[in-house]
Amino acid sequence: MKAFVFPGQGAQFSGMGKDLYESKPLAKELFEKANEILGFRITDIMFEGTDEELRQTKVTQPAVFLHSVISALCMGEDFKPEMVGGHSLGEFSALVASGCLNFEDGLKLVYKRAMAMQKACEAAPSTMAAIIALPDETIEQICKEVSSEGNIVVAANYNCPGQVVISGNIDAVNTACEKLKEAGAKRALPLKVGGAFHSPLMMMAQDELAAAIETTEFHTPKCPVYQNVDAKGHTNPEEIKSNLLKQLTSPVRWTNEVQNMIADGATDFTECGPGKVLQGTIAKINRDVTAHGIE
């Protein structure tokens, strides 16, 4: 079975999508529609912008979403997913690609999410760090020991065996990194992000996104959408909406999600969007399946 997967924030690069815009009439049409919806020419920043410009929250999330969705839609007859999934932001791309959301609504929700997350980041100094080569249980236990009221750290992204990202208040994350290295982590790498994504510190953003999700029409997708919150495939629009909202404050269970897709029959994974990050994680999760970008 063919699975299509979509990357999250961090995969962006200057020049992304320019080849699609110049070679595919559908891509040009959708990119121009996005410029109109957003009220600024995001294509100028995507095609010619600096890394710093691309890192602006209001740019990063819609840019990765646009590149991912338009890449998939421009495959034409070759885009026939039997299941889809996305990492964090990529879940919105998966929902549009599967027909659960239309293009315009998907973009509006992503932009709303980006701005709400930016506000939450500014409200509390917070950050994330990648922990390499330590069991999940050890990471969870140390985060629990370090956390106190008003100074929390949690496991946020289970990316693949041996790689978990933690998220929380800056002091708590720094303390946890030291303790995790003492416990045997090969590396504890601070990430260049402005906030504690997929942690309780995003509750403010979750509240803001709730109203937007509630007033958006979700359709039954043409194939199961595997979601980060529970790692399971869903086709019920109400369940999908609920899980999408919980995702902001819950961990991304990517390892389990890929394992469940494989258990349900996936043998071939195609990553749609910038970079090759998800292909790398899938190879570490299960070497018996194939993972590649768009041919």
Per-residue DSSP letter, 159: E
The stretches of the chain forming alpha helices (DSSP H) are 18-23, 25-38, 42-48, 51-54, 57-73, 90-97, 103-123, 136-146, 170-182, 203-214, 237-246, 254-263, 277-285
Annotated catalytic residue 14: no
28 by Cβ neighbours in 10 Å (0-12 / 13-18 / 19+) ranks as middle
Q: Please give the full DSSP string across 39-68, using - where no structure is assigned.
A: TS-HHHHHHH--HHHHTSHHHHHHHHHHHH
Per-residue DSSP letter, 10: T
Region of 232 (left: φ > 0; alpha: ψ -120 to 50; beta: rest) is: beta
Please identify which of the residues 198, 199, 234, 250 carries the catalytic annotation. 198
Annotated catalytic residue 292: no
Please identify which of the residues 68, 71, 88, 250 carries the catalytic annotation. 88
Which are the catalytic amino acids? 88, 198
